[in-house]
Structure 1
Amino acid sequence: MKKYFLPLLLLLPLAMQAQSIKGPYIGVTTQYQNTWIINDEQYEDVNYRHKFTTKWAPFGVVAGYKFNENHNFQVELIRSKQGENFDFVDDNGDKTGEKEIDLVYWNIPVLFKYTTTGRLRFNFHVGPQLSILQKGREENRFSRDATYDRNGSPIPINAGTYVLATTDEAERNRNNSGTPIGGFNKYDLGIALGTGVEYSLNSATYLTANIRYHYNFVNIRDSESQRSPVDPDYYVLRQNMVVGLQLGIHFLFNTGDGETPARHK
């Protein structure tokens, strides 16, 4: 009997680590992310090349409710910097300039979260996401004159910087380049999902590290078809896609029956 009793004594401090199993919680997050603009209608014979683009979602707040050890409902508000950078290439394949799409959203994912039990545990979360645009800008910068092939037609573009779209109404109104400046859709809707780990520091505080993905279904621009004399390509629908590493700290307000031993499954 002694050979079983001693290991039980050694495990008792771990077993007594408290884990609340019911109640509201709040938290703060930050996220480092790889951001994309996906052109649904055109994948081949284009004059641009995707560049690996990373941006920061520096601040997010979380509010949720833990119904029990496994089931949670969670809403977040995240200020997210998104968009993508591209290289332009001419009809010889040589680089001629860059496109930069810079977007800042307030993202509001509404998530159902399933969590395993234990002091160190795993979670999976999924739900819809509403995005509200705070500011946006699409700009082409060409380092030299060049000719591009757009659907079999030659498109000559002179060196220079051209703003194709912006949320700055003053800039749109004072435009004198002769090239129309467009706008962006104010709202976006998509799906968010992710998975990660949680670690309880004590019965009321825990850390999270999640891989978060979201894809939005609404065109980033306020009109569907985009053709411009200062853009080598045309666009029909372009959507946001983001993959990021999210870190957070959360505080749980227990409304259950007090402390319960942490369990592992």
Structure 2
Amino acid sequence: MKKYFLLLFLVFPFLAQSQNIKGPYLGVTTQFQNTWIINDEQYEDVNYRHRFTTKWAPYGFVVGYKFNENHNVQAEIYRSHQGERFDLIDVNGDKTGEKEIDLVYYNIPLLFKYTTTGTLRFNFQLGPQLGMLQKGTERNTFSRTASYQIKDRTHSVGQGSYLLASTEESDRTNTNIGEFNQYDLGILLGTGVEYSLKENLILTANLRYSYNFVNIRKEEHIEDLSRDTDYYVLRQNMVAGIQIGLNYLFNTGDGSSSARHQ
């Protein structure tokens, strides 16, 4: 019994201190990001090359709650431009055109967030993320007619621009135009720093990484060799970015404690 009293005596100061730093907070964010479309079924012998693609998540909103100075739960909603550009290459390895996948999502992550203490502090974030597609297109543009090889098959695609998929109803009057999945689901990881500009005003800078598990297209298997260079089974979103934000903490404790530990 004495051991339990001793343990309570040791942790009581920490609990009392944490209670002064709890409360809800609101914020705004923006994110500059490197975006990828990962083809899980093909890593070799493909007729394309990945291009370094950067896009922007121009604005987002944050709502969270600090249970104490270390532990937070945070939800966000942000508009995210995603997708990737690819160089299309022929059997000789020469560039013949470009593929562009352009996607816009409203992403909603729900995060557990651990924060260290001090005026300048570190944080770590982890949680699931739901994506709701707002618009999207997939297009191939060939500068010339060329031949491509898939395993033991050789085929040709003529010069021109080919719309392969779109969210626009007017585009899908053509039966050859595919559809995108309207929802995406993945996991988000983050780490970064926070700085208290004032007692309740917090500047954040985070490195973010998300990987999603849902196919970007509704069709399970896509093979249209008259307009494309490869076949696809599962393609997924992957994003890495730098997020900048500003949060306001509605601290429920006394101001002196908040000033010391924010």
Same fold at TM > 0.5: yes
Alignment of 1:244 onto 2:225: no
Alignment equivalent of 1:210, drawn from 206, 213, 232: 206
Structure 1 Cα separation of the partners of residues 97 and 183 of structure 2: 30
CA distance in 1, matches of 2:213, 2:261: 40
- Work out whether 1:231 is the aligned partner of 2:228: yes
Runs of 4+ in 1 over 6 A off after TM superposition: none
Give yes or no for contact 1:144–1:159 (8 Å, CA) kept in 2. Answer: yes
Q: 1:97, CA displacement in angstroms?
A: 0.1
Q: CA deviation at 1:258?
A: 3.0
> Counterpart of 2:216?
220
- Measured on the aligned residues, the alpha-carbon RMSD in Å equals 1.2
What is the aligned counterpart of 1:253 among 239, 250, 254?
250
1:186 alignment counterpart: 182
Measured in 2, the distance between the counterparts of 1:257 and 1:172 equals: 59
> Which structure 1 residue ranges, 5 or more long, are not aligned?
1-19
Q: Give the corresponding residue for 2:167.
A: 167
Matched residues in 2 for 1:102 and 1:139: separation?
9
Is the aligned partner of 1:27 residue 2:27?
yes
Q: CA deviation digits over 1:68-121, x for unaligned, max 9?
A: 100000000010000000000100110000000000000000000000000000
Gap regions ≥5 residues in structure 2 = 1-19
User: Does 2:91 align with 1:91?
Assistant: yes
SS in 1 for 2:172: helix
| Paired-residue identity, % | 68
1:259 match: secondary structure? helix
Mapped to 1, the partners of 2:139 and 2:103 lie a distance apart of: 12
Determine the C-alpha separation between the residues in 2 that align with 1:21 and 1:31.
28
Q: CA deviation at 1:263?
A: 5.0
How far apart are 1:257 and its partner, in Å? 3.1
TM-score by length of 2: 0.90
How many angstroms does 1:223 deviate by? 1.3
**Rounded Cα–Cα distance in structure 2 between residues aligned with 1:112 and 1:233:** 40
Whether the 8 Å CA contact 2:191–2:208 is kept in 1: the answer is yes
